[in-house]
Structures are given as structure tokens and as C-alpha cells.
Structure 1
């Protein structure tokens, strides 16, 4: 479920993207990553990443994929907390 409205940004040396969390993201505990974001951050070489929400809470997520299709998974708790 890649959203065409996903856009990658960079500000103050940090890269990020904005996406709408859909029910499937919570049910299956995954989120697609925009290609430009994954390429810029070198996800082809990484298997885990630390993410931080706007409040400053951190979570470790797994990364998987190939080619142009990459996603975070294993972060059901982060998706539930951000949604709340």
C-alpha cells in the first residue's frame, strides 16, 4: 500500500517522510518507505533503524525489501502509540 502522496524531506540534517497510517499498517505491523527516502538513507546496507516520533520517543524497527520496494516492520507498538 504505497501512497503516491508520500514525500521525503530533509531539514536540519535529518531526513523524514510523512505518510498516513492505514488500518493495514497496524494489522500487519508494516509501513512502506518512499524510494527516495530509502535510497538517501542507504537502506540496502541496513537491516534495522532507530526512529523517533515528534515527542522524542525512540523505537528500533526492522527494514526489509529489495529494488525500489522497502518497508519497516515489527513496529506495531509505535504505530499504535502514534495513532493514539
Structure 2
């Protein structure tokens, strides 16, 4: 779908510790998607679930210590920078 990933050997997200990011490159996921392999959406789901589980953990932690506004501002700033 997106040819810019055809030769991109980086993980989906370089800061992610999920099994999909630890073991597969963007180029390989691009290849799987182009071939219609079921592994591509499975790996994407693993990555996305890992991301949201960690995000919710960070939200809970920020709420527990009364720092949600700080967390939210940092989260928005990071997303604006593409992090």
C-alpha cells in the first residue's frame, strides 16, 4: 500500500518493545501486506494492543499521582512532533 516502506528495515515503532516490533521490519510487514498474508494484520494488532495497554497504564499512573494534565500535555506534544 505504501511503497516508502518497501525497503525500510526499521521496526514499526523504534521505541516499542512488543514482539512485532522486536522481530519484524516495516519492509517485511509491507511485503506481507502486499502478498495478502494474514500475518500482516496479526502483527499490526499485536503492536496496536501493546501500544494501547501501555498508554492506559500511563494514564492510570498519571491519574494516581494527580499528574494527568502534565501527562496529557506531554502526550499531545509528543504526537505533534510525530513521536
TM-score by length of 1: 0.28
- Higher relative CO (Cα under 8 Å, sequence separation at least 6) belongs to 1
More helix by share: 2
Structure (1 or 2) with the greater strand fraction: 1
- Give the structure-2-normalised TM-score: 0.29
